[in-house]
Every structure is written in C-alpha cells, then in structure tokens.
C-alpha cells in the first residue's frame, strides 16, 4: 500500500504531524502550543496542588479586591479630570451650583450624579480599597502567626510587606484626588508632616506641591502616581508574589501524610480553579453590595477644598488610624536649637514611628532565623501556640494598633460617650505602653498553657467524663488515649532549641570575637523559647503508653466513654475514623 504523503503536513518536529482532522478547539490549542509550548505548561501547572484551609483564602481576598480595584478604577478614569483649574460649578447638584471649585472635584460630582452607575463604581472602588488593605493585613497576620514566612519564603514576606506599604500609599493618593474638603485636609496634614522633615522639609513640600501649599499641581501628580506608577509596581509585585508562591508551593498544616516533603490538597484543575474563580465573583459581589447599600465618602456633602475650612470629626481612611492616633497623642515636644526647629511632635509619629514599625515587619523573619539559627526549609505551618513568643508579639502589636486606632478617633469617642477628650488622650499615652505588655504576657502564658494541655493529651489521653471511684473512696477521671492521627499531628512540630553561648573566650583566653553578639542572641533565644513546653520525647510517650496499657487492664470494662461523652474527642479525630461510635 503506498503512503499518501499529502496527509502529512510539512513540519520540523521530530514526529510527523498527522493529517488527522482535529476538532476546532484542538486545532486552536495545537496552533497555540506550537508557538507557546502550552502543553508542557498545562502538564506542569494544571494539576498543581493547593492545600485547603479557610485561612489560606485571606490572601485571595486581597488579590481579588485588587482586581476589583483595577476594574472599577479604570471605569472612573474615563470621566475623572485630574486638574486643579478652577471654575464655577454648573452641574446637576443644585446645592453647589455657582461655587468655584477645581475640575477634579467637579468631575467627581459629575461621576457621582450624572453618570449612571458612576456613584456605584466610586463606592465600590473605595470599599474594595478598604477591603484590599484589610485583607492584606489579616493575610499577613495569618502568615506571621503560623510561621509561613520561614525559609524559603522570607523574600515573599518582604514582597508582601512592600505590597502593604504601596497599598497604603496608593490608598492615600486616591483619597486625595477628589479635592474635596476632607481630602484637602488630608493633604494639608501630609504637608505638615513633610515640612517637619529636618533640613529639607520645606524644599520637599515646595517640590511636591509645585510651590506653596496647596498649589495647582499636586492632584495631577498624585493622579499619575495613583493610576500608573503605584499600580504598576503593585501589579509587578503581586506577580512576583504569585510566582514565588507557585515556585515554593503552598504551605500546609501537619497531619498524617502531610510532611515537609510533600504537599497534599486539591488540584488546580478543576477544583481549585473553580473555587478561586467563584471566590473572585463572591468578593466582587460583596463589594457591589457594599457599593449599593453603604454610602462611603459622600464628597458632595463636604464641599470643595478651602484651607480655611474644616469639619469637626474629620477622619482619614481606617488604615491611616495608626499614624493618626500617634499624631494625636504625641506630647508636644519641639526643639529649637542653633536657629533651627525640630518638631518631634510631628516628626516622630509621622516619619520615625512608621519606619520603625515597617522595619520590624520586614525584619522579623531574619531576626527569628538569627536567634534560632534554624536554616532548614519549613513547609509545615506552626500552630500559633507552638510559637508563644511570636504569637504574643502579634497579639501585642494588634492591641497597639487597636489602641492607636481608638486614639485616632479620640474626638469621636469623646462626643459619643461624653468622656473627657483630655482624659482619653492622657490614658492612651500610658496605655499604648502598658496594655500591649500585659497582652503580650497573657498571650504567651496562654499559648504555653495550650502546649501543656496538648502534652497532657499525648501522655495521658483525653478526658472521657467517666469518674472512677477507687476502693479507698478517692475519685479520678478516666482518660483514654487519643487517636494515632491526632497524636501524629500534635507531635509533628520541631523541638525548640535554646541557643547557648558556647564560649566567652577563645582558646587563648581572649574574649572571642562576636561573643557580645552571641550573648544577645542567647538571651533573646532564652526569652523566646526558654519557657516553651516541649513535645514529649519518644521515651516519655512509650512510658505513658505502658502506663495506659496497665490501667487498661484494671479497667477493662471501661474502655469507652460513658453515654453523652462519646464525641468529646471529636476535634481530635477524623470523621471516617470514628463513623458512628457505639456507646
């Protein structure tokens, strides 16, 4: 039989392309694959595994709100005019007709009143911005408290921190654009913060505003930052964040079959993709609901910016609460020396404290790694209780944030609850130091307490609710051993090692180089891990098991929980392990 070569396409591939008629989709796929090697990509990534846990979707909320921000923001740019040229308003909002205002403010009114769906998009844009930053914060806390930032993910932690910083800057730039009274007041405060910079403050202010505040260039400048430069950086960093996520693979909780060397979960296609896609629509939908029902930043009520006007109860967006609170409760310290002025009252809350805070956030993974000396890769998450100092530190920081946030609304607190404004401020000045310290101590003890209870469960089993009476008349509660599964999960963590100073002097009796640093490290290590409850050793477990077996014989009839207590250990067991236990 002769071969009909017309059915073979000319090709430079090692195998001849066959003339078999593919279906349409197949043809498109093949065309694309010949150019992009999509087949390989799909093979590698389409069944990529994503572990399932509710806390893993916090970052997803941030990602999807960012997408919503891009979509709604693009819509807004179609009508917004980033200009400070002034003209008398002639639009459809009667109460402001004839009032001189900037084009930026007038076009924002236009979007709000004359573009159908414009107000909806504005409110959705603002709400999703709030959500974006809130989700980033919570996602970051989750990452922190579970130790997901540990090697090899430190760099992704840094990328995430930068995303948070850029997100806040982006939010502030956007907040300033409508040029209403509130946003102008925000810029005025920013100008005050900038002017407090030593040596170059006034120059920075004049360069930013193109002359004296408020000038006529700051809104076009902030606009280009807001719609091009910062979103571009955000997009690039979000991309990098995702690439690193894919490269490192997702972290997971410890459990039988889930180790440092594998990742167990649902495949990208179809389950995870469908869930994530659905989740995008959920986030988008909730934002739409908020935009429909909850009014946010009704700029027409504030009026155009006027440096001689302000409304009482002016508040920035929530994520500025920290700086706002610090600014309000800072004592009024100012130094005048050698003919210059240093305004600590503005400089510290506005410039020094945010950098200290941000440095702490970025630096923590590196600090912790230096103290522990742990250079291993970690893919299993730590339960918050298993890192008591870290968890307590977060709790203290959250408390600090909450207090400063409240301090940033001290006027609102005063007017709503009829408290003295001065008392609130004096209270906060002390509270931001004392309360986080108390919270730190309590959280740490709480975590260690939880570690103890884990240890008890491992060694003595769980409480069954059976009260035993001994022949002597004493009472005790019967404990039953926990399942292998939960025992595995509870013992999957590493032992903490407290770093000890090896030798203060080298072999010649000279103080060893770096011994001072080493002492600091040892001290920190002791403070961070010294009080932790370590998991039982194998010998301890073995002994406990013997002991249990021994009592088991004595109490042969009682190896099951009494009625009403059958499911006391449900949290420790899988459903398929104890389907429907017989009493």
Which residues in the 44-103 window bind another protein by CB under 8 A?
Answer: 47-49, 52, 84-86, 92-94, 100
Site string for another protein, 431-460 (x = CB under 8 A): ------------------------------
Minimum CB distance to another protein smaller for 49 or for 548: 49
In the complex, least distance from residue 386 CB atom to another protein, rounded to whole angstroms? 21
Site string for another protein, 301-320 (x = CB under 8 A): ----xxxxxxxxxx------
Size of the site for another protein (CB under 8 A): 114
Site for another protein in 167-226 (CB under 8 A): 185, 188-189, 191-193, 195-203, 205-217
Site for another protein in 368-387 (CB under 8 A): 377, 379
Answer yes or no: are the C-beta atoms of 147 and 372 closer than 8 Å. Answer: no
Q: Which two tokens stand for residue 282?
A: 């959920």
Minimum CB distance to another protein smaller for 272 or for 529: 272
Residue 276, judged by CB atoms within 10 A of its CB (0-12, 13-18, 19+), counts as middle
Cα 378 from chain centroid? 19
Minimum CB distance to another protein smaller for 17 or for 286: 286
Find all residues with CB under 8 Å of 86, minimum gap 6, and list them: 100, 101, 102, 103
Minimum CB distance to another protein smaller for 271 or for 438: 271
Minimum CB distance to another protein smaller for 260 or for 463: 260
Phi and psi (nearest 5°) for 480? -120, 145
Minimum CB distance to another protein smaller for 13 or for 416: 416
Answer yes or no: are the C-beta atoms of 185 and 213 closer than 8 Å. Answer: no
Closest CA to 379 of 265, 270, 481, 275: 265
Q: Which two tokens stand for residue 215?
A: 């000038």
In the complex, least distance from residue 523 CB atom to another protein, rounded to whole angstroms? 31
In the complex, least distance from residue 7 CB atom to another protein, rounded to whole angstroms? 38
In the complex, least distance from residue 414 CB atom to another protein, rounded to whole angstroms? 9
Site for another protein in 229-268 (CB under 8 A): 247-249, 257, 260-267
409 binds another protein (CB under 8 A): no
Phi and psi (nearest 5°) for 240? -65, -40
Q: Please tell me whether residue 224 adopts helix, strand or coil conformation.
A: helix
Answer yes or no: are the C-beta atoms of 541 and 459 closer than 8 Å. Answer: yes
- Which of 333, 366, 433, 567 contacts another protein by CB under 8 A? 333
In the complex, least distance from residue 255 CB atom to another protein, rounded to whole angstroms? 11
Site for another protein in 276-295 (CB under 8 A): 277-286, 288-289, 291-293
- Which of 33, 165, 275, 413 contacts another protein by CB under 8 A? 275
Output Rg (C-alpha) for the chain, integer angstroms. 31
Answer yes or no: are the C-beta atoms of 144 and 251 closer than 8 Å. Answer: no
Q: Are strands 475-480 and 462-469 parallel, antiparallel or unpaired?
A: antiparallel
Find all residues with CB under 8 Å of 143, minimum gap 6, and list them: 59, 149, 157, 160
- For residues 181 and 300, what is the distance between their CA atoms, to the nearest angstrom? 10
Q: Which two tokens stand for residue 394?
A: 């977060």
In the complex, least distance from residue 583 CB atom to another protein, rounded to whole angstroms? 30
Site for another protein in 417-436 (CB under 8 A): 421-422, 425
Site for another protein in 108-147 (CB under 8 A): 113-120, 123-124
């Amino acid at each position: 039989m002769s071969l009909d070569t017309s059915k073979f396409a000319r090709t430079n591939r090692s195998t001849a392309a066959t003339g078999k008629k593919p279906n349409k989709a197949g043809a498109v796929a093949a065309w694309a694959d010949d150019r992009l090697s999509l087949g390989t990509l799909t093979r590698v990534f389409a069944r990529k595994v994503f572990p399932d846990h509710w806390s893993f979707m916090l970052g997803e909320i941030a990602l999807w709100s960012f997408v919503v921000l891009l979509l709604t923001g693009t819509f807004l740019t179609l009508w917004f005019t980033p200009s400070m040229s002034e003209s008398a308003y002639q639009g459809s909002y009667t109460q402001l007709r004839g009032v001189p205002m900037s084009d930026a403010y007038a076009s924002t009114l236009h979007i709000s009143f004359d573009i159908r769906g414009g107000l909806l998009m504005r409110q959705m844009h603002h709400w999703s911005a709030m959500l974006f930053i809130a989700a980033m914060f919570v996602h970051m806390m989750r990452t922190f408290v579970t130790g997901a930032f540990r090697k090899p993910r430190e760099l992704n932690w840094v990328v995430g921190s930068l995303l948070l910083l850029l997100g806040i800057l982006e939010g502030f730039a956007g907040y300033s654009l409508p040029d209403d009274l509130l946003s102008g007041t925000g810029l005025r405060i920013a100008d005050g913060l900038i002017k407090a910079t030593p040596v170059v403050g006034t120059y920075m202010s004049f360069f930013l505003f193109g002359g004296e505040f408020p000038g006529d260039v700051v809104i076009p400048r902030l606009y280009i930052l807001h719609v091009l430069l910062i979103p571009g950086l955000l997009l690039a960093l979000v991309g990098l964040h995702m690439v690193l996520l894919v490269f490192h693979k997702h972290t997971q909780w410890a459990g039988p079959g889930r180790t440092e060397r594998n990742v167990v979960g649902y495949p990208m296609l179809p389950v995870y993709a469908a869930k994530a896609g659905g989740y995008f629509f959920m986030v988008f939908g909730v934002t739409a609901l908020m935009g429909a029902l909850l009014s946010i930043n009704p700029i027409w009520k504030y009026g155009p910016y006027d440096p001689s006007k302000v409304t009482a109860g002016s508040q920035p967006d929530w994520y500025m609460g920290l700086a706002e609170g610090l600014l309000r409760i800072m004592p009024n310290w100012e130094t005048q020396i050698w003919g210059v002025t240093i305004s600590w009252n503005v400089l510290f809350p506005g410039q020094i404290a945010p950098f200290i805070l941000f440095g702490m956030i970025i630096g923590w993974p590196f600090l912790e790694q230096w103290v522990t000396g742990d250079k291993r890769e970690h893919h299993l998450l730590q339960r918050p209780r298993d890192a008591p100092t870290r968890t307590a530190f977060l709790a203290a920081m959250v408390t600090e944030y909450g207090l400063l946030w409240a301090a940033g609304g001290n006027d609102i607190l005063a007017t709503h609850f009829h408290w003295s404004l001065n008392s609130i401020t004096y209270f906060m000045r002390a509270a931001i130091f004392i309360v986080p310290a108390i919270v730190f101590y309590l959280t740490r003890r709480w975590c260690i307490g939880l570690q103890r209870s884990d240890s008890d469960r491992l060694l003595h089993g769980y409480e069954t609710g059976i009260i035993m009476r001994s022949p002597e008349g004493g009472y005790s509660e019967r404990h039953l051993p926990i399942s292998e599964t939960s025992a595995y999960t509870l013992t999957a963590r590493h032992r903490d090692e407290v770093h000890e100073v090896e030798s203060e002097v080298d072999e010649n009796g000279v103080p060893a180089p770096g011994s001072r640093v080493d002492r600091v490290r040892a001290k920190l290590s002791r403070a961070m891990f010294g009080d932790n409850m370590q998991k039982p050793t194998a010998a301890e477990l073995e002994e406990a098991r013997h002991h249990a077996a021994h009592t088991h014989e004595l109490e042969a009839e009682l190896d099951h929980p009494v009625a009403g207590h059958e499911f006391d250990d449900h949290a420790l067991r899988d459903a398929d392990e104890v389907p429907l236990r017989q009493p």
